[in-house]
Amino acid sequence: MIKVCFFADEVSKDFDEAVRLGAEAGAEAVEIRGGLWGKSVTTIDEDDVKRMQDVLSKYEVQIACIGSPVGKCHYDREKEYETHLRYFDRMVELAHAFNTKVIRVFSFWKVSRDEG
C-alpha cells in the first residue's frame, strides 16, 4: 500500500506544525531534511530526536525517509569527503532511531576536466 508522504520543511520550519498539518491532510509519513526547529538532519542532537519522536507519536506519523545531503560534494576533496562519511554514519543512526530503512543520498559530484 502506498503511503502519503511529504517534506516537513516544505510545510513549515516548525516540525510540530509541519507534522500536525500533514497529518490533518491525511499524510501517514514524512521525509525529514530541514525544518527541524531551525536545524537540519546533519545538526540535530539526541534531544531533538526525542522531541521529534514525541511529535511523530502524537500525530501518529512515521518517518518515511531521511533526506540526507550525503554525496553533495566532490569526492576528491578529502575534507568534504570525510565530512560526508561522518554525515552518512549519523544518517544511519537516525534511520535506526526513527525506524526507517530509507536514507536518500546523492552521487558525488563529478570533477570537471577543466578543474585539472
pLDDT tens digit string along 10-64? 999 999 999 999 999 999 999 999 889 889 999 999 999 999 999 999 999 999 9
Predicted TM-score (pTM) of this structure: 0.88
Predicted pLDDT of residue 75:
85
Cβ–Cβ < 8 Å for 71, 85: no
Cβ–Cβ < 8 Å for 19, 37: no
SS3 (DSSP) at 26: coil
Predicted pLDDT of residue 113:
58
Domains of the chain from N-terminus onward:
5-104 (3.20.20.150)
Whole-angstrom Cα distance, residue 37 to residue 63?
A: 16
Q: What is the pLDDT of residues 57-84, one digit of tens each?
A: 999 999 999 999 999 998 888 999 999 9
